[in-house]
Chains A and B, each alone.
Chain A
Amino acid sequence: MNKVVANVKEACEGLESGMTIMLGGFGLCGIPENCIAQMVNLGINDLTCISNNAGVDDFGLGFLLQGRQIKKMISSYVGENDEFERQMLSGELDVELIPQGTLAERCRATGAGIPAFYTPAGFGTEVAEGKETREFNGKMYVLEKAFEPDFAIVKAWKGDTQGNLIYKGTARNFNPMMASAGKITIAEVEELVAPGQLDPNQIHTPGIFVQRIFQGEKYEKRIEQRTVRIKG
């Protein structure tokens, strides 16, 4: 089935203020740059964003924070962002911090039709406060629930018109689970190809999970921490 939309504008149709949106990426690696730019253009606000991180001041979700478009962030780590810190400390921005593995599994559960699951992460800490706990085989676990996102927005390296996706390197991160979790999943790719051009053995996200796909106009792919060694 053909999932192709003409451009980012068409891909983001239906995104509205007040929605809950999942966005793939770890740090600035594997983030849907084009859709984030479009969300800025749309001027939608009161958003709840589920994303492992919140970008940096002048890239990624930092753009949405600058415009105060985000009401709540659900993340595992939110450092490296002064505007985020300012809004969090002033109470403008609601923040829910959850363990990274729990975040990943909650996304996976959402797409897999599993309403909740037990994990050992966070037992005995404030993360477990108010949640059901239970003992299995002598160890304590915390009940964590799936999300209910309106949209999921992911970024892949290559995709075909059927919505099949291949990610590159560690840019895979949260993208596959989030792709499976959206009521509507938008995939932006660096290279959009015809069916048959991708090896079915190598596809990471089957197109069944993707409703809209387009090739991003350009990718900056900014590096957050450039670390190198000297040729010796």
Chain B
Amino acid sequence: MALDKKGIAKRIAQELRGGWYVNLGIGIPTLIANYIPQGIEVEFQSENGILGMGPFPYDGEEDADLINAGKQTITALPGAVYFDSALSFAMIRGQHVQLTVLGAMEVSENGDIANWKIPGRMVKGMGGAMDLVASAENIIVAMMHTNKKGESKLLPNCTLPLTGVSCIKKVVTNLAVLDILPEGGFKLIERAPGVSVDEIIAATSGKLLIEGEIPEMVIEE
């Protein structure tokens, strides 16, 4: 069965390593904070200006001066720090953040990403996404494999305006984990539980590389 959004978040959480500073985008990536593997310590950066972001506050304890990049009320963990936007993006562009996870509308087989604009519709803006994808060493895209019309979001080339070029190295979808190879192409690494390789082939319009047996993801309930 294909994963739900929580399942995608759980699978990406397995990629976390102790000691990492991590920036999570809005949507599925935000859920990852709920599934940090036991025994490792990571710290979450939100680009509006906090390191050491904690969970949502208890009802009645919200602070208008303490929000995340999605403008949601949050808390700060012991050891947290606040900073201005220039310093925040110095952390990002300067590659001090070890992992960035964000959503996408399209990803191409050479690692381009489109996630900020659909021509003809109201454009809300790129926020920090262009800075994040242009700089991070390690970017994972969390998204559904196909769009609402059932069309593949893993393409030979993006059709929408780009957010960044040749920057994505890993994609985790409801169907599969795929690495994007330096020479181009989506290499199939894992299948979602019960999803066949044929289903993934059918849902992928970009170049797909399949070598040997493809294992199933191990996702804890």
Contacts and interface: CB of A to CB of B under 8 A. Distances in A.
A190 to B, nearest CB: 10
Nearest to A221: B64
A172 B46 CA distance: 13
Contacts of A28: 64, 71
Interface in B60-110: 60-68, 70-74, 76, 82-86, 88-89, 92-93
A123 B72 contact: no
A79 B134 CA distance: 23
Given A99-B131, A100-B128, A125-B162, A170 B86 contact: no
A29 B92 CA distance: 21
A104 B166 CA distance: 24
What range describes how many residues of B lie at the interface?
Answer: 35 or more
Given A76-B126, A124-B164, A169 B93 contact: no
A37 interface: no
* A52, A101, A102 pick with most chain B CB within 10 angstroms: A101
Contacts of A230: 58-59
Interface in A68-117: 75-79, 85, 88-89, 97, 99-105, 107-108
Nearest to B61: A228
B85 A174 contact: yes
Contact of A79 (B46, B83, B125, B162): B125
A124 to B, nearest CB: 3
In the A-B complex, list the 6 residue pairs whose CB atoms are closest, starting with the nearest: A101-B89, A101-B131, A124-B165, A104-B85, A169-B65, A79-B124
24 contacts: A27-B67, A28-B71, A29-B67, A78-B124, A97-B126, A100-B89, A100-B131, A101-B92, A101-B130, A101-B131, A102-B130, A104-B84, A105-B89, A121-B135, A122-B134, A124-B164, A169-B63, A170-B65, A172-B49, A174-B85, A177-B85, A223-B64, A225-B72, A230-B59
Given A30-B65, A97-B125, A228-B73, 12 more contacts: A28-B71, A76-B127, A76-B128, A101-B130, A171-B64, A173-B48, A177-B85, A204-B84, A226-B72, A228-B56, A229-B55, A230-B58
Interface of A: 26-30, 52, 75-79, 85, 88-89, 97, 99-105, 107-108, 119-127, 157, 167-177, 204, 221-231
